[in-house]
Structure 1
C-alpha cells in the first residue's frame, strides 16, 4: 500500500532539508509561481534528477517526467505531473485526465503531483485516490516546496526566487555563489576511516560498534555501500576488549554491528551523526537481540536511520565552536571568578568544623553567596565548544564549575550529616580537579 512521503525522502531531493519552510517569503513564492512549466519547472527538476530524457509534450505523453529515483534507498520508477504559471488554480478538471494516464504505467513506485498555483482539494483528492488504487507512494509539491527545492539546488535566487541564467545571475542582478570546484576519479574507491571500534559483547552475543568518518560529498548511495562494507568487515573482526571475551567468542562472526557515520571530527565531538546503522544476525535468539534501531530503510539486511536534522545541527554547532584562544580565555576567566567563592565556602566550612562558628552562621554565609555562584555557573553554558586540542581542558573546567556550584547546593538550610559528607567530598574533588587542570594546561603551553 502506498504512503505519502516527504520531499526530502527522495534521495535526489535531500538537500531541500537545509531550507526551512519559514525562510520562504511572499516575494519568493510570487516569483516561483511565475515559473514556466516546461522551460523552468520541468527543466530544473530534470537537472536536479540528472534526467536528460526531455520528451515533447503532446496527447500521447503519459507524464511530464518519467524517471527512476531513490526513496530512502529504494529504487523506484517515478512519474511527475507538473503545472506551471498557466494554472493559477489547479482543479480536478485540469489534471484528472493526466492522473488517469498514470494508471497505465506498469511497476510505478512513486507519483508526484507538483504545481506552483493554488492546488484545490478536488485535485488533491483525485491524485491521492489514484495513488491508493495503484498502490504506490505519492508526493504533492506546492509552491513553497518548489521554492525550497530550487533554492537548495541553486536554480533560483535565495533572495527573491528569480531564476538564474546560464551565467548564474538572476534578473535582479544577484550573482550565484561560484562554489568550490571538485574533481573526482571515476574509478576511485569510496574511502572511509574507522575512527573508533568498540567491543560491546556480552556472554550471549558478540557485538561491535564503530564510528566511521567519510567524505561529506558522498551521496547516500555511496554511504549505503560504505555501511555495507564496514559492517561486513566488523562482523569478521577478532578484536576483543579483554581476555575473557576473547576466550568466549574467539574468531566467531559477530551477532550485532552498530555504525555511527560522521563527516568530520566535529560531528564525532558533538555526536551529530549523518546516520546510524544496525545489523543484527537473524539467528540471534530473541532474549539477546538488542532493541531495533527503528530505521528509515533497510539496505542489504542493514537497518539505516538517517539524521534529517544533521545540517541544521551542523550549522548550529559551527556557530558555537570557538578558537583555541577563545575557549582558553573564557574558561580561565570564569575559573578566576568562581574559585574565590570556593575558597570562601571552604574557609567558612573549616570554621564551622572547628567550632569557631555555629551551623546557622555557616549556612547563612553560604546562602548569601549562592545567587552569585549560580549566576556564574550558568555562564559556563556560554563557553564556546572547544577544538579538539583543548577539549579535555574545557571539560575539566566544566567539572570545576559544577563542583563549586555543588558546594553551595549542599550547604542548604538542612545541612545534615549527609550534606556535610557531600561538602567534604566536593572539597577533595576540587583539589584533584585543579591538579588535573594544571596537567591539561601543560599540554598546549
Structure 2
C-alpha cells in the first residue's frame, strides 16, 4: 500500500511541532478528525497546573512553504475560507511552518494586524527569527490571554418612540464580549425587563403622559461593532409587546423566546461586515480623496458666485451667463459622481463623510437648472430662485463641513 509523500510530510510537521511544544512544557492536543484548518490546540502550563489558556495551530510542513520570501520574512498564502474561519475562531490562531531539516518551527499570529490583503487574496509575513522556542513562549502565552470587558454590553442609544396610545422605547446595544446564541438570548431578556421601567422621555408632554407607567412596546437592536451600528447591520433585532396594549401593533416575524419576546436573527451580519471592511478606506486615504474633490467644489462655487454677480450687474449678457453656468454644470456633475464613489469612510470620519456628501449634493443641485433636463424643466425666473436658494444652502452645509473636518484633526 502506497503512502503519499504529502501525507507523510504533514505527519512529520505535526509530530515535529508537537515535540517542540511538549519540550517547552505545553500540552499539545492534535485535532485529527476533520480538516477545518486547525491541526492542534496548545494549552499552557504554569506551576505544573493547566491554565485553560489555549491557542489553535495550523501547521504546514515541507520545503515548498519556505520558497517565497521577502527579506527576512517567509510569505505564507492561504485560501479565504480558512482565513475567515480562523478570524472567527474562539481561540487565537497561529500559523506554524515546520522545517524538518532544521527541526525548527516558525510562527505568526493570524489577526487584522498581521494579515495583508492582496489583489488575489491575502498573505502573512512570518519572520525567520520568530521561532517556537523558550524566548517565544511568553509572547505565545500572551496571545492566549483574553482581556474581557467588565460590561457585557454598552447602550449606544435609547430612543423614545412613544405616542398618545403607547409608551415605546427603541434601544441600540453594542455587545462587548463573545456570546453564544443562548448568551445573547439571556442579554435580550435582561435588557427587555430593564427597559420596561425606564423613565426617559423626549419632551415634557410625553413625560406627563407616561411617567411611572411601564412601557408597552420595546425594540432592541444588537450589534457586534460600532461600524455595524453605523451601517444598521444588527446581529438581531427584538420586539416585546405588553399584553395590556390593545389593539396590538404588527408583530415582528421571528423566533419567540420567553413567551412574549420575538427575535429576528440577521444570519448575514458577519458576511456583510466582512464585505464592508473590504471597501473601507484608511483615514489618510479617505481624507486625501475627499479633499481632492472638496477643494475643486469650493473653487467652482466661488466662480459661480462671481458669474452670478457679473450677470446681475450687467457685466455679462444672458448668452454668456448661460454658457458659463452650463460649463459649471458639467464640471460639478463629474465631481459629484466621483464623490459618491469614493469608498467607505472609517468610523471616525463617518460624520465628516456624510457632511461631505451633503455638500456635494447641494452643489450639484445648484447647477442642475442648467443641465439639459433643467433647461427644459425650469424657466428663467425659476432658475434664478433655485440658484439663490441652493447658494444659501451651500454656505450652510459648508460651515457644517468645516466644523466636522476640524473635529477629526
* TM-score normalised according to structure 2 size: 0.61
Q: Which of the pair has the greater relative contact order for Cα pairs under 8 Å at 6+ separation?
A: 1
Asked if 1:363 corresponds to 2:325, the answer is no
- Tell me if the contact between 1:345 and 1:366 (Cα under 8 Å) persists in the aligned partners: yes
Question: How far off is 1:259 after superposition?
Answer: 0.8
Q: How does 1:121-200 map to 2 (within 5 A)?
A: 181=144, 183=146, 191-200=152-161
Question: How far off is 1:361 after superposition?
Answer: 3.8
Question: How far off is 1:360 after superposition?
Answer: 4.5
Q: Distance in 1 between the 2:158 and 2:169 partners?
A: 7
Q: In the alignment, what sits opposite 1:260?
A: 221
Q: In the alignment, what sits opposite 2:367?
A: 408
User: 190-199 or 201-210: which moved more?
Assistant: 190-199
SS in 2 for 1:413: helix
Q: Distance in 1 between the 2:184 and 2:369 partners?
A: 50
SS in 2 for 1:257: strand
Q: Distance in 2 between the 1:192 and 1:271 partners?
A: 17
Q: Distance in 2 between the 1:348 and 1:150 partners?
A: 60
Q: 2:257 aligns with which of 299, 304, 309?
A: 299
SS in 2 for 1:204: coil
Q: Distance in 2 between the 1:168 and 1:390 partners?
A: 37
Asked if 1:241 corresponds to 2:202, the answer is yes
Relative distance call for 1:351 and 1:321 in structure 2 (3 A) is: same
Question: How far off is 1:397 after superposition?
Answer: 1.9
Q: 2:232 aligns with which of 271, 287, 299?
A: 271
Relative distance call for 1:227 and 1:356 in structure 2 (3 A) is: same
Q: 1:422 aligns with which of 379, 382, 386?
A: 386
- Tell me if the contact between 1:363 and 1:413 (Cα under 8 Å) persists in the aligned partners: no
- Tell me if the contact between 2:152 and 2:177 (Cα under 8 Å) persists in the aligned partners: no
Q: Residues 98-117 of structure 1, C-alpha deviation per residue, up to 9 Å, x if partnerless?
A: xxxxxxxxxxxxxxxxxxxx
Q: How does 1:32-51 map to 2 (within 5 A)?
A: none
Q: 1:284 aligns with which of 236, 241, 245?
A: 245
Q: Distance in 1 between the 2:227 and 2:191 partners?
A: 21
Could you say what the CA RMSD is over the residues aligned between the two structures, in angstroms?
3.6
Q: In the alignment, what sits opposite 1:376?
A: 335
Question: How far off is 1:406 after superposition?
Answer: 0.9
- Tell me if the contact between 2:201 and 2:207 (Cα under 8 Å) persists in the aligned partners: yes
Q: In the alignment, what sits opposite 2:171?
A: 210
Question: How far off is 1:335 after superposition?
Answer: 0.7
Q: In the alignment, what sits opposite 1:131?
A: none
- Tell me if the contact between 1:169 and 1:176 (Cα under 8 Å) persists in the aligned partners: no
SS in 1 for 2:238: strand
Q: Distance in 2 between the 1:346 and 1:149 partners?
A: 55
Question: How far off is 1:319 after superposition?
Answer: 1.9
Q: Distance in 1 between the 2:146 and 2:394 partners?
A: 53
**Number of residue pairs aligned between Structure 1 and Structure 2:** 290
Q: In the alignment, what sits opposite 1:342?
A: 301
Relative distance call for 1:184 and 1:351 in structure 2 (3 A) is: closer
Q: In the alignment, what sits opposite 1:22?
A: none
Q: 1:435 aligns with which of 387, 399, 403?
A: 399
Q: Distance in 1 between the 2:284 and 2:344 partners?
A: 12
Relative distance call for 1:41 and 1:437 in structure 2 (3 A) is: same
Relative distance call for 1:338 and 1:149 in structure 2 (3 A) is: closer
Q: Distance in 1 between the 2:152 and 2:266 partners?
A: 21
Question: How far off is 1:224 after superposition?
Answer: 1.1
Relative distance call for 1:294 and 1:420 in structure 2 (3 A) is: farther
Structure 1: gaps spanning 5 or more residues: 1-39, 48-147, 155-166
Q: Residues 112-152 of structure 1, C-alpha deviation per residue, up to 9 Å, x if partnerless?
A: xxxxxxxxxxxxxxxxxxxxxxxxxxxxxxxxxxxx99997
When you count strand as a share of all residues, which structure comes out higher?
A: 2
- Tell me if the contact between 1:328 and 1:394 (Cα under 8 Å) persists in the aligned partners: no
- Tell me if the contact between 2:238 and 2:264 (Cα under 8 Å) persists in the aligned partners: yes
Q: Residues 58-111 of structure 1, C-alpha deviation per residue, up to 9 Å, x if partnerless?
A: xxxxxxxxxxxxxxxxxxxxxxxxxxxxxxxxxxxxxxxxxxxxxxxxxxxxxx
Q: Distance in 1 between the 2:257 and 2:145 partners?
A: 28
SS in 1 for 2:340: helix
Relative distance call for 1:217 and 1:363 in structure 2 (3 A) is: same
Q: Distance in 1 between the 2:229 and 2:152 partners?
A: 18
* TM-score normalised according to structure 1 size: 0.57
Question: How far off is 1:305 after superposition?
Answer: 1.3
Q: 1:316 aligns with which of 275, 286, 298?
A: 275
Structure 2: gaps spanning 5 or more residues: 1-30, 39-79, 87-94, 99-106, 112-142
